[in-house]
Amino acid sequence: MNESALLVHVWEVDPGDEAAAIQSLDDMFGEISKDPGFVSAHVLETDDHASIAAIVEMRSAEDRQRLEQSGDVRERLDHLHGAANLIVRLYRETASYGA
């Protein structure tokens, strides 16, 4: 299997808990952004505030694996406030567009 530097994580959230869940991710990504293997992170929400997603890009699959194995990161992703973990998928980039 071709390992990826991208991680996509999706949660179902109670709309009343969405802000707290996003704040938790914001805090975590603030810390992760200091990691030398960090490239970018994006947090997305649905219009009905019932689902959020995080897309994290690291420089290499090894950096992504190290990030996932961090106790604090694993705990936060698996037990995000007010959220039910739906799906975690690793993606391999097939194309990139833009600046």
Residue range 6-91 forms a domain whose CATH class is alpha beta
Q: Look up tokens 């406030």; give the residue.
A: 81
The pLDDT of residue 70 is above 70 = yes
**Residue 2 confidence (pLDDT):** 61
- Are the beta carbons of 21 and 83 closer than 8 angstroms? yes
For the chain, the structural domain boundaries read: 6-91
pLDDT category at 80 given cuts 50, 70, 90 is confident
Average pLDDT over residues 9-22: 89
pLDDT at 78: 77
pTM of structure: 0.79
